[in-house]
Amino acid sequence: MSDRRIQDIEVIDMTGSGDNTLKLNLDDLLDASTSTNILKVLGNSGDKVNAAGFSDSTIDKTVDGITYDVYTHGDANTGANVELWVQQEVVLF
């Protein structure tokens, strides 16, 4: 995602268009969502998210009938904390 021109995105939907891979990092999430620091990723089996540095919070969240695995990342220098919500069918690596 690494393009600072992309801002205020709350959801990325990868469903229905083949097997996709999304690569992002802490800065991408901070740039994507300036209001909540939460990014939801929707997808199907075969879709993947490459998000180095994120930790599994072991918490699941269900919103509008969709269950997400919640991953977290924090920056000790800035105090920034973000959550990456990944639909359970999607693999995080």
The angle subtended at Cα 35 by Cα 14 and Cα 15, nearest 5°, is 5
Write down the pLDDT at residue 89: 95
Q: Give the confidence band of 7 by pLDDT, cuts at 50, 70, 90.
A: low
- How confident is the model over 6-27, as a mean pLDDT? 86
Instruction: Determine the average pLDDT of the residues in 85-91.
Output: 97
Give residue limits of the domains in the chain. Answer: 11-92
pLDDT at 61: 97
Condensed to tens digits (0 to 9), the pLDDT of residues 28-86 reads: 887 777 678 899 999 999 999 999 889 999 999 999 999 999 999 987 787 778 999 99
- For residue 3, the model assigns a pLDDT of 53
Number of Cβ within 10 Å of residue 1's Cβ equals 16
